[in-house]
Amino acid sequence: MTNYLQKYAASTRQKVDMELADRFDFKMRREGDKPIRLQMAKARRAATTMKNLLDDFKDMPPKQMQELMNSAKTLRKLADDLEGLARFAKGYQSFYLAEIKREEDEELEAFALKRWGRENATAEFEWALIRDLETLDGRAELGQWMHGRGNHKSVGVENFHSPFHSAHDMHGTNKRREAAKAIRQAQSQHNQYTELSFNGVHCHVGMRDYESFLADRKAAASLTHNIVQVAKVGSQ
């Protein structure tokens, strides 16, 4: 398992208390410097309170005065360490998010390579199909295909749903990775088989049926392409 904190610490000139950084590791990755600055403010307020006690209780025994002085120094030192850690945290969070993105992109590319090879057209075809299945027309087409196979004919074609989450984040920036992410998520949810919802009105299509649907769509697209090519040749 990657130790992102040590990896970032080795890449930056910023020096911090690594024991303190380790305690804030999770929070820094998720929230950056915000939780550290909150703790820093509390430490400074507490140090100020200790200083006021020293001013207000000058007649206290020397031992107790020294204890208060030591507490104030400790709190000021903690506040200073937290201030340095807060600066470190901003860079660390950016580094962590970039590393997570890089690792995810590598995993998605490996998945895409296994599924489509280096053929972008095949990946883009499936990307478009996944997007289309989020539309009413796409769902109806999926429902009609299921009915054509004799499955769940009591369910209205508009009430069929693909195995995929919302495709709203599929913007086409990198169609291979976007399609790979959607497919990998669907495969990891164990919804391999088609199921009806409890009220029997909706049908959630599993990956096994989706793969058959995909194969039929590919075959239909290939046939259409061949017909168009033949027509072009005949018109020349």
Domain ranges of the chain: 4-116, 120-235
Amino acid at position 86, single letter:
A
What is the per-residue pLDDT for 57? Answer: 76
**Res. 234 pLDDT band, cuts 50 70 90:** low
- For 106-144, the three-class secondary structure string (H helix, E strand, C coil) is HHHHHHHHHHHCCCHHHHHHHHHHHHHCCCHHHHHHHHH
Among residues 114, 121, 141, which one has the least CA distance to residue 217?
141
- Judge whether residue 230 has pLDDT over 50: no
> 35-71 pLDDT, tens per residue?
999 999 999 999 888 888 777 777 778 888 888 888 8
Token pair of 104 as six digits: 């995810």
**Res. 225 pLDDT band, cuts 50 70 90:** very low
3-state DSSP percent of the chain in helix, strand and coil, to 5: 75, 5, 25
The size of the chain, in residues, is 236
Among residues 193, 191, 196, which one has the least CA distance to residue 154?
196
- How many of the other CB atoms lie within 10 Å of CB of 221? 12
Contact call for residues 29 and 38 (beta carbons, < 8 A): no
**Res. 188 pLDDT band, cuts 50 70 90:** confident
Amino acid at position 57, single letter:
F
- Judge whether residue 160 has pLDDT over 90: yes
How many CA atoms lie less than 13 Å away from 51 in the CB half-sphere? 10
Q: Using a pLDDT cut of 90, give the percent of the chain over it.
A: 69
Q: Compute CA distances 68 → 43, 129, 186, whole Å.
A: 14, 70, 60
pTM: 0.74
- How many of the other CB atoms lie within 10 Å of CB of 154? 9
Contact call for residues 29 and 96 (beta carbons, < 8 A): yes
Residues 6+ apart with CB under 8 A from 65: 54, 57, 58
> 62-97 pLDDT, tens per residue?
888 888 888 889 999 999 999 999 999 999 999 999
